[in-house]
Amino acid sequence: MLPEPSAPREDRYEAPEVVVARLPQYVRILSRLQQEGAQVVSSQQLGEKLQVTPAQIRKDLSYFGRFGKQGRGYSVTHLLGRLKQILGLNSYWNVAVVGVGRLGRAILSYPGFSPDGFRLVAAFDENPEVVGQEVAGLEVLPMIRLNQEVRERNIAIAIVAVPTDHTQQVVDRLVECGVRAMLNYAPITPQVTESVKIRNIDPVLSLQSMTYYLTDGFEG
């Protein structure tokens, strides 16, 4: 009899992607509660802050373990620590920004990444006029240095901010260099193998998904 094919088996793979996507929100709220000095929080209280049901929070957490105390709730510090551990947010992730145009510069200057565990450690551009410039404390490197830098600086994540018609090739290039997670700002959905994760930041799609609800009928 043939062995089973290599199906998902470990517990951690059982958590639906939609659940994993909510965990960072829990982390954010818990961080704030911790700063405010809160010791304990219930699923009820978390749910109010996040506008989700307490049952959903308890169910989400139950995919990963039992973190609460019956009758009490969750220790803010303990739950925060465990969630960070589960998400891999206990240490910093080194991130490369590819594409140093207007958008890339805004991303490099954005102060919101490093407080949350992401260090922008390298910037790349293919334009020779941009290469060598210093942007937000980083020297812009040529694309040819990508492979080397990814390895030397242990870069696991890239933020892709290149023109739309270059995006797929840049993504392919990053995958070749071993980058397995990317944040893409171009208005396309790059194709990657299943083992690579991509999230797209696409404000136009977000806007267009709201106009439906602003429109009273079918007439344009």
Residues that bind DNA (CB under 7 A): 16-19, 42-44, 52-56, 58-59, 61-62, 66-74
Residue with Cβ nearer DNA (73 or 142) = 73
Name the nearest CA neighbour of 146 among 122, 162, 129.
122
Query: Whole-number minimum distance, CB 184 to DNA, in Å?
Result: 21
Residue with Cβ nearer a copy of itself (40 or 93) = 93
* Beta strands per DSSP E along 87-193: 93-98, 118-125, 134-135, 138-142, 155-160, 181-184
Asked if 159 contacts 98 with a C-beta cutoff of 8 angstroms, the reply is yes
Q: Which of residues 159-218 bind a copy of itself (CB under 8 A)?
A: 159, 180-181, 183, 187, 189, 191, 197, 199, 201, 203-215, 217-218
From residue 144, how far is each of 128, 181, 202 by CA, in Å? 12, 20, 28
**For the CA atoms of the chain, what is the radius of gyration?**
21
Residues 6+ apart with CB under 8 A from 111: none
Q: Which residues bind a copy of itself (CB under 8 A)?
A: 10, 12, 20-21, 23-25, 27-28, 50-51, 84-91, 93, 95, 102-103, 106-107, 109-110, 112-113, 116-118, 156-157, 159, 180-181, 183, 187, 189, 191, 197, 199, 201, 203-215, 217-220
